[in-house]
Amino acid sequence: MTAARTHIFRLLKWGRILARHGALRDIENARQTPLPVRRLCRIARFGTIQPKHPDYAAAFREIGPAAIKLGQTLATRPDLVGEDATHNLLGLQDALPPEPFDKICEQIERALDAPWGKFFQSIDPEPIGSASIAQVHKAVTTDGRTVAVKVQRPGIDKRFLRDIETYEWAAAHLEAFGGEAARLRPRLTIANFKRWTLRELDLRREAASASELKDAMQSEPFYEVPEIDWDRTAGKVLTLDWIDGIKIADREGILAAGHDPHVLANRLVHAFLRQAISEGFFHADMHQGNLLVRSDGTIVAIDFGIMGRIDRKARVWLAEILYGLITGNYRRVAEIHFEAQYVPAHHNMEEFATALRAVGEPMRGKPVSELSVGMMLDGLFAITRDFDMQTQPHLLLLQKTMVMVEGVATSLDPGINMWDTAAPFVREWIRTELGPEAKAADGIRRQFETLALLPDLVRRLDAQLPREGGAPPAPPLPEVKLIWDRDRPRSTALAFTVTAIIAAAAGAAGMAWLG
């Protein structure tokens, strides 16, 4: 187990980097920030020359790969980091200098347990992409096929796990302050972040995700997932078909190739809705670098390290919430929040519906260029504190992906109206899934399931079961020994100092709230 002093050293080192980029200023000035944290922020920035405007993205890049991933996650949480930080972090690109080619070849041979020449005729030494976890090379297999080979950076898994352990330690101390920190549930947020990252570190899981998504999206026209080469795939190496296409970020190239950006934007939004709402399994890293357009107008997705899942109950609620916001049925949106237990029952549903109306009405019928899904999320987050709504970590990936998809769609067609684009799909899905026939079929299925459970139900009649909410059960959280609970004598001054260091360090790691 890592010593507390090691965590403190790492966090203060990261805090100093944040201070140099002006990224502690808002933490220090926020009214919710505890006084000890403000004092430590002042200490951390002492002697630094800070830019006029904070550069959170640059700070996270300097801290390292795990911080880049964390920064991308925080980019969808204005309630955690503030609106200015959110907009800055949205531009955080996951790109690092590549590893030397000889180390990449050694990694391939260790992973595949054979000389790389057994599998490939050639591998281009220059990578076509170099991210925090892996880099990608173009290669030709021994049977003459052109493929893309994704190779994990040597030693990156140990570095990620080391940093995440410190995130867990800091989150536990931050949450122990109670109040606003407890409502935002940083421990559960980091637990979900860890789970996503561990999946991304196993390239076999990424290959399986790509294969599953390909099967799920077979009937979706103009959307494709590359084929996986399982014989050349292992835990640290992933091989898949090479895709010739134009990056979706290259709008001029798309126009020159004769594609209609408006059509492509609508196809992208429809493909995302199909994944998230119909399938409950979606590509959660749909930024411009991971989407290509083939000559026939097909959108091809790549890089499946980060995938999201939503169970059917949550998808039904999500679809009804989206459709309620689209149609202005705020009463129904409010009811769903209470049914899912996202809003505690002691609040008034009508008041919550009115608060939702204040968020939704200014946005209906307007293009993204004026109002956006991202702005809607900002508005929704703004009312969470008033209604004691806890963070829902199981929806963080969905929120992140919605913002990404909107950004890509807007770059293609600045005048796109996300609500109008989404409405027909959501309306049809609700009709199909929640219409009379679907409800009857669900009723029959549930009756058979209930009959099968009768013996167990009889044994548990005396148990009072809580009403099921919309969030899945929380994963087990690591046990963290709080530094102020250690069984050793300490002076009041030392207690104050250590508590202040923990608070400031946790905030410096990017998990404090800014107002």
Using CB atoms within 10 Å of the CB of residue 514, give its burial: 0 to 12 exposed, 13 to 18 middle, 19+ buried.
buried
Token pair in block for residue 146: 């052109």
CA angle (389, 391, 393) in 5-degree steps: 145
Distance CA 75, CA 133 (A): 19
User: Residue 252 CA to chain centroid, in angstroms?
Assistant: 29
Annotation marks residue 485 as catalytic = no
Token pair in block for residue 287: 């930024």
Question: What percent of the chain is helix, strand and coil (3-state, nearest 5)?
Answer: 60, 10, 35
Closest CA relative to residue 31, chosen from 131, 179, 199, 234: 179
Buried b (16+ CB within 10 A) or exposed e, 42-67: ebbbeeeeeeeebbbbbbbbebbbbb
Token pair in block for residue 233: 């795939």
Token pair in block for residue 249: 């970020």
Residue 485: C-alpha distances to residues 12, 70, 186, 377, 506 (Å): 21, 28, 20, 38, 17
Closest CA relative to residue 417, chosen from 404, 406, 426: 406
Strands 129-130 and 134-141: what pairing? antiparallel
Distance CA 213, CA 283 (A): 8
Distance CA 120, CA 393 (A): 42
Distance CA 398, CA 421 (A): 18
Closest CA relative to residue 56, chosen from 456, 398, 509: 509
Q: How many residues does the chain have?
A: 515
Q: What is the DSSP string of 364-412?
A: TT--TTTS-HHHHHHHHHHHHTTTTPPP-GGGHHHHHHHHHHHHHHHHH
From the candidates 285, 378, 388, 413, which is the catalytic residue?
285
Look at the block and give the residue holding tokens 């002076």.
491
Alpha helices in 21-100 (DSSP H): 25-29, 35-44, 56-63, 65-74, 78-81, 83-89
Distance CA 171, CA 188 (A): 9
The residues annotated with a catalytic role in the active site are: 285
